[in-house]
């Protein structure tokens, strides 16, 4: 499995996905390297907000590349109140 987070960079010569800031391209790696994308905002007292445009971009890239997309949460101090809908829909796709 490959884990990509906001503060780290994965990858290198092996062609695994890289993420730096808000740029992440699902379609550049596509299948068969990515079987599933799970996206969720940070939670807890020091959680940083997630940009909705970034969440939409990752979702749209997954749809285009036919990679299952699971939106876990918006995050924040009270993640249950923020919910897990992206543009009014729960994304629960699984491989």
Tens digits of per-residue pLDDT, 41-56?
A: 998 888 898 999 999 9
**For the chain, domain boundaries:** 1-95
CA–CA gap between residue 58 and residue 26 (Å, rounded): 7
pLDDT of residue 80: 78
Find out whether 75 and 50 touch, Cβ atoms under 8 Å. yes
Q: What is the pLDDT along the chain (95 residues), one digit of tens a residue?
A: 444 544 444 443 344 444 444 456 666 655 567 889 999 999 888 889 899 999 999 999 999 989 999 999 998 877 778 889 999 999 999 99
3-state secondary structure 46-81: CCCCCCHHHHHHHHHHHHHHCCCEEEEECCECCHHH
pLDDT of residue 3: 47
pLDDT of residue 27: 60
How far, rounded to the nearest angstrom, does the alpha carbon of residue 90 sit from its chain's CA centroid?
14
pLDDT of residue 34: 84
Q: What is the DSSP letter of 22?
A: T
CA–CA gap between residue 59 and residue 37 (Å, rounded): 9
pLDDT of residue 32: 62
């Amino acid at each position: 499995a490959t884990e990509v987070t906001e503060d780290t960079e994965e990858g290198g010569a092996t062609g695994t996905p890289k993420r730096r800031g808000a740029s992440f391209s699902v379609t550049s790696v596509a299948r068969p390297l990515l079987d599933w994308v799970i996206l969720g905002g940070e939670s807890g007292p020091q959680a940083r907000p997630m940009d909705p445009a970034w969440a939409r971009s990752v979702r749209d890239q997954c749809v285009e590349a036919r990679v299952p997309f699971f939106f876990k949460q918006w995050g924040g101090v009270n993640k249950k109140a923020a919910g897990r809908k992206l543009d009014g829909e729960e994304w629960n796709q699984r491989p």
